[in-house]
Amino acid sequence: MIQDLLTTNSLILGFLIALVSCWVLLPFLIKLSPVIGLVDKPNFRKVHQKLIPAIGGLTIALAVTFTALVYAPLRNLLTQNLPLTIALATLTITGVLDDRLNLPAILRLGIQLGCAYLIASSGIRLTSLHGVFGIMELSVFFQYAITMFVLTVMANAFNLIDGVDGLAGSLAFSNSFVFSVLAIVVGQQEWLALLLPVAGALLAFLRYNWRPAKLFMGDGGSVVLGFLMAALGIIFIEGSYLQAVAYGPYAIILTTASCMIPLIDALRVAINRMRKGKSPFAADKNHMHHWFLKHRFVHSEITLRIVKTHAALTVLSILASFVFSVTTIIFLQIFAVILYTWIIQFSHAFLKNVRLVKALETKFVP
């Protein structure tokens, strides 16, 4: 039914409705956010020095909701996938409340796990690893456990990488494009009715989120987008193998490539925190974008560098699929992102020492 409604003109219409509605809503909600307390406050780990509206995620959600009201393919898709719709709405509300009230981390995690369980119990879950790491069919317990882990980790990973202007929005927009192509390749075109409106709303959001940012996405956006991308990845992977589509391996490769940078960054930081006896949820300044800031890059340069790396990883993963197995490609993706992170981190230490030596030479050498 949904696919019958999908034409090129229809897809463009969905994109434009979300784009225009988000564009119209943003100026109004930017002015409203200080009144209702939805602002991001400066602290020791943040670059901005004044209150910034944290209304971006809510605006994107409202734009997509309005699009669903007037755009039948999206409305039908969300109705037919009600558990996913409920989970996304719950995470949006939780994120907005967290931006306003600073909810306890354990409460946020509990809600995220609840939403992940709702998704898994609805049938959107990994039933097999399809030969990745030599693993095929999964028991029901591991189907739920792995699916809930992936959804929850990706929701938080995407939230944690939202640290410089335009980064989370640009990665989400890029992923929307990648998943749109993937939806067509694996025969899941009905999801274009959601992906393109999300991309349209993100494009309008980026207009105001590019440095100097007039607003931030907030947890009401970054957590939801990470969760959505992980859920869609699972849908495409399972759907492609269920329908015996020849391009099934590409669903795995593109999904992991789309998630790898925020995932590795989040896991690396969490592991380092626990090694130091700190909570994995403790705030610090050791994310990838923080190292770029220490290199004195401006926000737009950081965003472009990370997005270009993300695009390169995606393209190289596709090319590698002609030579290597899916498992090997995933290991190469992990290695590439870790190597990239180490280069940024240790080049900072090297340049810091160079600057110190030059400063000492200037001071003591006549």
Kindly report the pTM of this predicted structure.
0.91
Query: From CA 181, how far away is CA 193, in angstroms rounded?
Result: 13
Distance between CA atoms of residues 334 and 322, nearest Å: 19
* Residue 272, both tokens: 């380092």
Containing H/E element for 182? Answer: helix 167-185
Distance, in Å, from the CA atom of 302 to the CA atom of 240, rounded to the nearest integer, reads 35
User: Does the annotation flag 156 for ligand binding?
Assistant: no
Asked if 49 and 107 touch (Cβ cutoff 8 Å), the reply is no
Residue 212 preceded by cis peptide, ω within 30: yes
The Cα 216–Cα 99 span in angstroms is 11
What values do phi and psi take at 149, rounded to 5?
A: -65, -50
pLDDT at 43: 60
Per-residue pLDDT of the chain (366 residues; tens, 9 = 90+): 555 556 778 899 999 999 999 999 999 999 999 999 999 876 655 555 578 999 999 999 999 999 999 999 999 999 999 999 999 999 999 999 999 999 999 999 999 999 999 999 999 999 999 899 999 999 999 999 999 999 999 999 999 998 889 999 999 999 999 999 999 988 899 999 999 999 999 999 999 998 788 899 999 999 999 999 999 999 999 988 777 667 788 999 999 999 999 999 999 888 888 888 887 777 777 788 878 887 778 888 999 999 999 999 999 999 999 999 999 999 999 999 999 988 887 775 555 554 544 554 455 444
Give the whole-angstrom CA distance, residue 202 versus residue 70: 19
Query: Tell me, what's the pLDDT at 361?
Result: 46
Q: Say if residue 284 carries a ligand binding annotation.
A: no
The one-letter amino acid at 197: P
Nearest to 258 by CA among 314, 302, 219: 314
pLDDT value, residue 360: 44
Which amino acid would we find at residue 157? A
Please state the domain extents for the chain. Answer: 2-364
E-state strands within the chain: 39-40, 52-53
3-class DSSP state of 137 = strand
Is-contact 222 57, C-beta < 8 A? yes
